[in-house]
Amino acid sequence: MKTKFRLLAMVMAMLLLVTSYSTALADDGYASTYTYNYDYWQDYRESPDAYRVSNVLYSGDLGLEVAMKRPQSLFVQGNMLYVVDTGNNRILEIERNGYDFELVRIIDEFKVGAAEQPAAEETVAAEEAAMTEETAVAEENTVVEETVAADLPTVTTFNTPNDVAVDKEGNIYVADTNNQRIVMMDKDLNYVMQFTKPADTTFDQSLSFLPNKLVIDNSGRVFTLATNVNKGVVKFEANGEFTGYVGANKVVYSLVDYVWKTFFMTEEQRAQQESFVPTEYCNIYMDEDSFIYATNISFDEYSLIWDEAQPIRRLNGVGTDILIKNDRYPPIGELYWQEQAKDYHGPSKFMDITVLHDDIYVGIDRTRGRLYGYDSQGIMLWAFGNMGNSDGCFSNAISIEHMGTDLFVLDQNEGAITVFVPTEYGNLIYDANRAYLSGDYDGSADLWREVLKMNANYNLAFIGIGRSLMRQENYTEAMDYFKMAMDRDNYGRAFRLWRKIWVEENIVWMVAVIAVIIIIPVVLRSIKKKKMEVEMYERNQVTK
């Protein structure tokens, strides 16, 4: 009898194991990872995976004889992926073909003088008619040497490169940090020009110029973050001219600190204390419309929820933050950092950010190795990732990029690049958002309904359907969806529009009712008055 019970228990345990395993798989058979979002009450809501790991690229996978060492940054141009291998003073240029990645070349030096020498030779050739052959050769050598010495750097290798960017013409820019310059090369690695320390009174000339991160806009202007420069993003024109700073961080200090430092400290004590100066940005990214997205990791964590820290900013041409924030809480990543385990204590610190089409942006969190995606309204789409050594986890996520909707995350410690591709659920979210922005409101609503079939707790789907219905002037049904999403702002907008139409459609009988309400008392008072006058007249006649 005991044997039968044991066999039955084993069968039940196996069934439970199979059931739990099957529930851990997505519909397409891939293992599910922990992806989540927040509801109206800011509670965790698990969701289907928006992304899955497609590939993890290590040095050996790329055929590198020398493994990557402290890589710092990623950059994508078309189907080309650039990796800044800082510890080895080189840039890796990798081509993607479908799921295959091939190392095209290693950029660790550039050609000096290749573009300038022919111009000097032509100048000398024009003067050869009046010179002897011997004199001409000597003169030619002198001109070339003077040109190289005056216009070109003598160092042709990189010293601690930290970032790379490629403009629309294929020119390559490298933040050559310890050489104190940004080097611009053409696609064949010929030297074009360099951007060096600004000779300007606004730049402290006692400081070294250490460009750390850089972006290039559509006009060829260069924007860079420089170490120890807290006045904002350093801006150069395409010709190398320094033209100022963009978007300086706000000075952060408490009133108590200010009063104590101003009135109760000596000059010597104040000199030893930290100055009230703006903090430096951590990273920058330029979207396809030439707006700069900047991340900031130096802030008071208690100012996050009130949107005073602003860890993600979108800067316009004059440096004003124009990031849209239409959710109940700003885009700050994790909401419950104080209740988390000790290893993950602290708010999200966005080390890097990338911006997809339709102003969807994704930040990579150093604290938890997590990716947080937001739409153009600042509403969280999803969050996933973790710390660790398994696929999809990171020990030190340092940079993020995208190719289409695929995401690339660089792990500095592991020297590895994780490639994430969207799942069916993730693609539905992107397609629904894109359909709405393109004006296909019916199609957008249908796609959001498909999302709800996969995740009934997804508030953004209710909001998306409501916005589509509101664009179609179906305000009553839109209000129902906004109510389910607990979206008071959009509900109020839909209600005001519905009320306006209702008033316009019913104005005639409303006026009639108002008129009746006003006229009837007047008529009744008039009748009553006439009746009283008649009664008074009759009484007077009787008295006579």
Over residues 262-304, the pLDDT tens digits come to 656 666 655 555 444 456 899 999 999 999 999 999 888 888 8
Is 35 within a domain? no
Whether residue 122 is found in the same domain as residue 182: no
| Predicted local confidence at residue 222, as pLDDT | 97
- Tokens 């459609």 locate to 505
Residues 431 and 435: their CA atoms lie apart, in Å, by 6
Exposed/middle/buried for 230, CB within 10 Å: 0-12, 13-18, 19+?
Answer: middle
Question: What does the pLDDT read at residue 128?
Answer: 43
Neighbours of 410 (CB within 10 A): 27
Q: What is the DSSP letter of 156?
A: -
The H or E element spanning position 420 is strand 416-422
Q: Which residues of the chain have pLDDT under 70?
A: 1-33, 114-155, 249-279, 338-344, 542-544
Domain extent for 122: 117-151
477 and 522 part of one domain: no
Q: Do 292 and 392 lie in a common domain?
A: yes
* 238 and 132 in a common domain: no
Residues 132 and 231 in one domain: no
Indicate whether 399 and 495 sit together in one domain: no
Beta bridge partners of 75: 82
Distance CA 371, CA 392 (A): 10
Per-residue model confidence (pLDDT) at position 120: 34
Any domain includes 25: no
Same domain, 389 and 456: no
Could you please report the per-residue DSSP string of 221-251?
-EEEEETT--SSEEEE-TTS-EEEEE-PPPP
Is 361 among the domain residues? yes
Please check whether residues 139 and 254 belong to one and the same domain.
no
Do 349 and 376 fall into the same domain?
yes
In a domain, 536, yes or no: yes
Pairing mode, if any, of strands 191-195 and 211-216?
unpaired
Bridge-based pairing of strands 181-185 and 191-195 is: antiparallel
Domain at 82, CATH number: 2.120.10.30
Query: Does some domain include residue 141?
Result: yes
Comparing CA positions, the residue from 106, 24, 87 lying closest to residue 398 is: 87
Does some domain include residue 417?
yes
In sequence order, the 6+-apart residues with CB closer than 8 A to the CB of 84 are: 71, 72, 73, 74, 75, 91, 161, 162, 163, 164
Q: What is the pLDDT of residues 122-162, one digit of tens each?
A: 333 333 444 444 444 344 444 334 443 445 445 589 999 99
Q: How far is CA 38 from CA 42, 99, 133, 428, 431, in A?
A: 5, 33, 81, 19, 21
Q: What is the C-alpha to C-alpha distance for residues 177 and 192, in angstroms, rounded to an integer?
A: 18
Domain assignment of residue 11, yes or no: no
Are 475 and 342 found together in one domain? no
* Confidence (pLDDT) at 532: 82
Within-domain flag for 481:
yes
Half-sphere exposure of 404 (CA within 13 A, CB side): 11
At 13 the three-state DSSP class reads helix
Residues 142 and 211 in one domain: no
| pLDDT at residue 106, as a whole number | 97
Provide the pLDDT for residue 512. 82
Whole-prediction pTM value?
A: 0.80
Provide the number of structural domains found in the chain. Answer: 4
Q: Do 389 and 467 lie in a common domain?
A: no
Report strand pairing: 80-85 vs 361-365.
Answer: unpaired
